[in-house]
């Protein structure tokens, strides 16, 4: 790849990172090109689809989440690990509207060491007796989707409100006050399909 092409690629990534963070994943591509100081054609040369650009911008997040997961498993207290993991992911969402959008459409940590780590986080806390036994990995999607919605709604007007939302969900996830959950949990397939269509 030629030197100027590399430079343009980086400019585009910088601009996209900023605009996605501020305005979400649906920012017009023209605008990203403009902010990058590059023509729309060049944007398409470097990133043939919007997804390719999104992927490149948020590639680092995968590793960050994997780190969070490993730290969760390293925590002394299983519940603290579990709660800390969810809090960490939600903090990433709150810090970046683009990632917030993405999290709502993508299972966090799905490549790599993937869901395996997350399953272990859940099961460890369940073995410790602090996470209710009737929840499944797929139920965590409710936390992500829900908090994502709250972040999107309150970001301008009441940043930090999402922490109350999360706190309520965490209290609901604790073994203590658990009433049996209705219906079967979503299968992995159902959760995946749900992510696919919105």
Distance CA(34)–CA(143), nearest Å, equals 36
**Backbone phi, psi, residue 59, to 5°:** -55, -40
Of these partners, DNA, a copy of itself, none, which one is at the site of residue 30 (CB under 5 to 8 Å by kind)? DNA
Q: Does 174 bind DNA (CB under 7 A)?
A: no
Which residues are paired to 131 by β-bridges? 174
DSSP secondary structure string, 22-61? HH-TT--HHHHHHHHTS-HHHHHHH-SSHHHHHHHHTHHH
Of these partners, DNA, a copy of itself, none, which one is at the site of residue 45 (CB under 5 to 8 Å by kind)? DNA
Distance CA(178)–CA(184), nearest Å, equals 16
Among 15, 16, 19, 38, interactor with DNA by CB under 7 A: 38
Binding residues among 130-189 for a copy of itself as defined by CB under 8 A: 135, 139, 141-142, 145-150, 152-154, 156-158, 160-161, 163-165, 167-174, 176-179, 181-183, 185-187
Binding residues among 80-109 for a copy of itself as defined by CB under 8 A: 104
Q: Does 29 bind DNA (CB under 7 A)?
A: yes
Cβ proximity of 122 and 135 under 8 Å: yes
Q: In whole angstroms, how close is the CB of 15 to DNA at the nearest point? A: 12
Q: Which residues bind a copy of itself (CB under 8 A)?
A: 104, 135, 139, 141-142, 145-150, 152-154, 156-158, 160-161, 163-165, 167-174, 176-179, 181-183, 185-187, 190-191, 193-195, 197-198
């Amino acid at each position: 790849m030629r030197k100027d092409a590399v430079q343009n690629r980086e400019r585009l990534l910088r601009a996209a990172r900023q605009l996605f963070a501020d305005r979400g994943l649906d920012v017009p591509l023209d605008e990203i090109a403009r902010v990058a100081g590059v023509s729309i054609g060049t944007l398409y040369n470097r990133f043939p689809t919007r997804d390719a650009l999104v992927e490149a911008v948020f590639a680092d997040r995968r590793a960050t989440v994997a780190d969070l997961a490993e730290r969760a498993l390293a925590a002394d207290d299983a519940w603290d690990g579990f709660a800390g993991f969810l809090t960490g992911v939600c903090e990433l969402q709150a810090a970046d509207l683009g990632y917030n959008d993405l999290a709502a459409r993508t299972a966090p940590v799905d490549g790599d060491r993937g869901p395996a780590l997350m399953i272990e986080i859940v099961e460890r806390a369940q073995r410790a007796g602090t996470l209710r036994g009737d929840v499944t990995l797929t139920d965590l999607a409710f936390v992500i989707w829900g908090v994502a919605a709250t972040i999107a709604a309150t970001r301008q007007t009441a940043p930090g409100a999402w922490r109350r939302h999360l706190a309520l969900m965490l209290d609901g996830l604790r073994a203590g006050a658990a009433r049996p959950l209705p219906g079967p949990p979503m299968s992995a397939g159902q959760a995946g399909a749900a992510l696919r269509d919105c």
